[in-house]
Amino acid sequence: MRPKLTAISKTDPGTRKTILEINKLRKVFSVNGSFLTVLDCIDFSVKSGEMICILGRSGCGKSTLLKMLAGFLTPSSGEILLNGKPVSDPGTDRCVVFQEDTLFPWLTVQENIAFGLRGRNKDKKGIRKEVDRFLALVGLTEFRDYLPREISGGMKQRVALARVLILKPQILFMDEPFASLDAQTREEMQNLLLSLWEKLSHTIIFVTHDVNEAITLSDRILVMSKNPGRIREDIHVNLARPRKLEKEEFIFFSRKLYEHLCD
Ligand SMILES: Nc1ncnc2c1ncn2[C@@H]1O[C@H](COP(=O)(O)OP(=O)(O)OP(=O)(O)O)[C@@H](O)[C@H]1O
Ligand SMILES: [Mg+2]
């Protein structure tokens, strides 16, 4: 039987509560004296524990959208509500993992992971216990004393993931975090992210321009169009996991998404 591409309505009767609401979001940049509307009429909501992919071609405004949701950029108009409260600044309830390496080069793997816990009223023993747990979760226990320059790109992204998950953010934003990895490492990281998501039940918004990555990871894909960036489709991926690229239903979804991206 052919899988269905299902559009999710905002009134979808789910049991989980809505934690993020985006209403009529718009971003205009001023460039060399003229105005560029990068994002317009962005409207969606996110429920607790959802893993959502934002899929769109290069330049459609994915990073700009994520930066506004994280509080790094101010919208030109519209609102972002986290648990009903407007987001205006970055906050410890939201964390971001970027594509590029953002580890502190002078700190070891375990010090990088522990960094954000400083000043959170935890004693040394408590921090050590948490760091041990997250080192094990991302499979880096044996590399705890290595410096970032002594580990691979994939391992660095594992550290980056552990470093934010340890802070137990309400929402984790990921901006093409695996884009610079080779295909096999990328697949390993996708599997790791899925297993962490299942264990820790975070809400994750993952930006990618890779159709297969979006289908592999998420149960809901927001497809963006360009000039200005808009959410043109809100698609429910009702495929059983693990999702295999070679399966007919995967290929079906992949074709449909390409069509949406190319229109
Ligand atoms: N600070 C800025 N000032 C002016 N224009 C900007 C600024 N940041 C982004 N833009 C423009 O906004 C548009 C969207 O950029 P953005 O980085 O959000 O796209 P993207 O979808 O993340 O692309 P990619 O997939 O290549 O990362 C681009 O045209 C870019 O030039
Ligand atoms: Mg980007």
Residues 47 and 153 in one domain: no
Does residue 92 register a pLDDT over 80?
A: yes
Same domain for 43 and 146, yes or no, is no
Judgement on whether residues 59 and 2 belong to the same structural domain of the protein: yes
Neighbours of 32 (CB within 10 A): 5
Please give the pLDDT value at position 10: 36
Residues 2 and 73 in one domain: yes
Domain count, the chain: 2
Q: Summarize pLDDT for 172-193 with one digit per residue, the tens.
A: 999 999 999 999 999 999 999 9
For residue 98, the tally of other CB atoms under 10 A from its CB is 17
Domain edge (last residue) among 168, 185, 216: 168
Q: How far is the CA of 31 from the centre of ligand 2 (A)?
A: 18
Interhelix angle 124-137/153-165, nearest 10 degrees:
130
Helix ranges (DSSP H) in the chain: 62-70, 109-114, 124-137, 153-165, 183-200, 211-217, 248-262
* Residues 4 and 76 reside in one and the same domain: yes
Instruction: Take atom 4 of ligand 1 and give the residue whose Cα is closest.
Output: 29
- CATH code: domain of residue 75: 3.40.50.300
Q: What is the rounded end-to-end Cα distance, in angstroms, of the chain?
A: 26
Instruction: Answer yes or no: do 235 and 255 share one domain.
Output: yes
Which residue has its alpha carbon closest to ligand 1 atom 9?
64
At a CB cut-off of 8 Å and minimum separation 6, what does 123 contact? none
Largest CA distance in the chain: 56
Q: Which of 168, 199, 214 is the last residue of a domain?
A: 168
- Which residue is associated with the tokens 């289908």? 215
What residues does the ion ligand 2 have nearby, CB within 5 Å? 63
CB-ligand 1 contact for 56 (6 Å cutoff)? yes
What pLDDT does residue 14 have? 61
Query: Regarding beta strands 94-97 and 171-175, do their DSSP bridges make them parallel or antiparallel, or are they unpaired?
Result: parallel
pTM of the model as a whole: 0.91
Q: Are residues 78 and 203 in the same domain?
A: yes
pLDDT digits (tens, 9 = 90+) for 18-52: 999 999 999 999 989 899 999 999 999 999 999 99
Q: Which residue range is the domain that position 111 belongs to? A: 98-168
Select the more confidently predicted residue: 187 or 8: 187
